[in-house]
Structure 1
């Protein structure tokens, strides 16, 4: 397809139209940073600091150990950790060993964990001591899983926090998990204490070899593993660095709240920081008070986030008591960013906040507004260097004129290789290198893109991707439920929230609390419906298919009348 690129005229002169991408593995970022910035602080975590040299040496130790316990090139290793030093060390350790990272959400319950580990063929999982009981419970159900490497938050806390933390952990979680370094259980600390520190060489074809399996999904079934190569991730990280052209190499610090088990946080925080020699200020979870204190004390200059994070901070009653002026720029992703939030956040911090766009299948960023140029309200911005984007007619599949709504499709070096073991689903979204996003939008005459709706029924709540069918299948297992449909309904804080419409079996009674308790046993908390509505029947087509979209439209109309 012929591509017209009006957006290139909008680029600031500092941003190149094309970039030279070396055919090198993603792990080279860390090796280069350890050479160029050996003594510079790479990570700050609750008072503990690590240099780039320390991170690299520890990653090499993890890599050697993984190879010793049987990890070969292309083998999958799951990382089930919050943002902490071990998450960075493990990630690059797996890559140095030639393995493929499988990012696993620490909130996953046994059912979700079993599916992902089986589907990916994970051989080793690196996880927290608190999560060990959950992982060990599903281990017998996963033929490929041979080893569990366990770490704890206290392992990378400074004295005396490391001594106090177990007591806090017991108070908060009601337990302290102790795991012995023996058999198929391994302790992260023991590996770091005794591991080999020599450099590790692995032959990697960056364009062909996978670096990451990142799970995403849709309404057509269970989550799919998106195959991202070293080249995909390297190119998207380099694009990000070029887009942030005023940020100074080796001098910035970046607030790491976005989880690294989400590809957005992985690229725009972790990989970008390692590439550019930035200090990562890591927080294991988003707590508004802790975040405000951390910004004031550690003074990050860069702050990638999601709308719910910025909204949460702005609505805190004490925000005026904190100095947030260190923040220079932020790119918001994962969900639409309200204009009033942009304006208010820029006023409070004095920095820039702009909206971007992307998807897991594109590593993930494809578009963004200019950080220091003109910001177009309501637009997700311009395609990044080497990224093409067009809008196709839903009727003809042909490119449409500027201003006409259709499906956004993208092409570039960051676009995935395909879905893991799903050739038919890969063929459905990849057409001659073009990725069909499933998102509806348009491009204006200047080359700015606007997203107006989604073809998919995926729910984005608080930045999390949630797939209705998965929740429906769980709720269908509840003995009192006859029919259920799950939909995303508008929510002023989370963007969308999960609502379940329930038809009960005849003659039974049931409360929302009963359904909530059942769902929480089988689903991560962010997937559990916030609203349950009981109905006598659900809208359906002539062939019996439940009309989810009719319920969403009904909800929007109801909210309009109430507004």
Structure 2
């Protein structure tokens, strides 16, 4: 119901559902609301980007939800630039920070992407950018849903922060879970003083909009400075030859940790590691610039199409520099 008050699903809507049904985002965001309101749901057994481009005009799909990879792989299809997307009034994205370059790609096709944020432990809706702010707040995850409280905690002291700030995102409200099944230790770590610790780093601006920056566990420290991979990945994504990128922190004798970028480039693209590193040097502080770039045919992904950085770390440990 909170989602309905923020991103209205109409009885006349046709909802395209491509996320796995075992995941809370696969049924508890758009489909459940659509069924409750009597709208139509096109339920797909798996995500196929070519089929998405076919279904949108054929079924006159009006709204859908996906993770960033859903929209990335769909936009990479040969027919994307000419596909009839005129029926698609609203597309929701969550699960990970959305590269601004990808937001612009869909915006150029006149598709309004509404960004949001949630997690299973919060059922999952926490933040959403209302459609009227979507273009103005590009890259933001939004404001809290009705009946949901959020706060930012200092990453070192745990103190709650006021005003514009950056810290770990905390959530409180009737949507937050009671705990992990038969795992009191994990529950105690996750629920602190009535707040759910999300493990995500966020920034809050003066209007109360939140931008998700990275996972706390993905942050690394280089020369005493906190480095958030998502910031580096955004710079790499902006390069026209780059399809996607993922950055991890690896041990370094001098700096403690340094960044390594894993990059997938477009077929036939003429780009090398030096060019990408030069781009990072132009746009980032020196301590944030990766020390190495590794090219891959594809990034390892989970069933939810999220990048598996644990696999990238394992690959680095096995192969190394």
Same fold flag (TM > 0.5): yes
Kept after mapping to 2: 8 A contact 1:499/1:533:
no
SS of corresponding position for 1:419: coil
After superposition, the C-alpha distances for 1:6-43 in whole angstroms (9 at most, x for unaligned) are: xxxxxxxxxxxxxxxxxxxxxxxxxxxxxxxxxxxxxx
Shift of residue 373, structure 1, vs aligned partner: 3.3
**2:197 aligns to what?**
436
Distance 1:290 1:278 in 2: 21
How far apart are 1:297 and its partner, in Å? 0.5
| 3-state SS in 2 of match to 1:320 | helix
- The equivalences for 1:259-408 within 5 A come to 259-348=20-109, 350-374=110-134, 375-408=136-169
1:241 touches 1:272 (CA, 8 Å); kept in 2? yes
Q: Could you tell me how far 1:275 is from its partner in structure 2? A: 1.6
Runs (4+) of structure 1 exceeding 6 A deviation are 497-501, 523-526
> Structure 1 residues 304 and 535, CA, compared in 2 at 3 Å: closer, same or farther?
closer
| Alignment deviations for residues 130-172 of structure 1 (CA, whole Å, 9 cap, x no partner) | xxxxxxxxxxxxxxxxxxxxxxxxxxxxxxxxxxxxxxxxxxx
| Cα deviation, residue 340, structure 1 | 2.2
Once the 2 structures are TM-superposed, how far is the Cα of residue 402 of structure 1 from its aligned partner? Answer: 2.2
Whether 1:243 and 2:6 are equivalent positions in the alignment is: yes
Task: Please give the residue correspondences for 1:147-296 in structure 2 after superposition, counting only pairs within 5 Å.
Answer: 238-245=1-8, 247-248=9-10, 250-296=11-57
Unaligned runs of 5+ in 2: 220-228, 238-242, 252-299
CA-based RMSD? 3.3
Is the 2:180–2:186 Cα contact (8 Å) retained in structure 1?
yes
Matched residues in 2 for 1:315 and 1:400: separation?
40
1:205-234 CA-partner distances (Å, limit 9, x unpaired): xxxxxxxxxxxxxxxxxxxxxxxxxxxxxx
Cα distance in 1 for residues equivalent to 2:86 and 2:126: 29
SS at match of 1:268: coil
> Are 1:352 and 1:372, in contact at CA under 8 Å, matched by a contact in 2?
no
Aligned CA distance change for structure 1 residues 265 and 496 (closer, same or farther; 3 Å): farther
* CA shift for structure 1 position 534: 6.2
Residue 137 of structure 1 is matched in structure 2 by none
What displacement does 1:371 show?
Answer: 1.4
Task: Report the CA distance between 1:363 and its aligned residue.
Answer: 1.0
CA distance in 2, matches of 1:268, 1:525: 15
TM-score by length of 1: 0.40
Cα distance in 1, alignment partners of residues 128 and 104 from structure 2: 17
**Alpha carbons of structure 1 residues 534 and 450: separation in structure 2 relative to 1, 3 Å:** closer
- 2:51 and 2:250 map into 1 onto residues whose CA distance is 33
Cα separation, 1, equivalents of 2:100 and 2:178? 35
TM-score, normalization by structure 2: 0.69
- CA distance in 2: counterparts of 1:499 and 1:319, whole angstroms: 35
Secondary structure, in 3 states, of the residue corresponding to 1:426?
helix
> Once structures 1 and 2 are overlaid, which stretch shifts more, 274-283 or 366-375?
366-375
- 1: CA distance between counterparts of 2:31 and 2:311? 31
Q: Higher helix share goes to which structure?
A: 1
Structure 1's 376 and 428: CA in aligned 2 closer, same or farther, altered over 3 A? same
Distance 2:304 2:172 in 1: 35
Identify the match of residue 446 of structure 1 among 207, 211, 216. 207
3-state SS of paired residue (2:26): helix
Aligned residues: 250
Matches of 1:525 and 1:333 in 2, distance apart?
Answer: 11
Structure with larger RCO (C-alpha < 8 A, sep 6+): 1
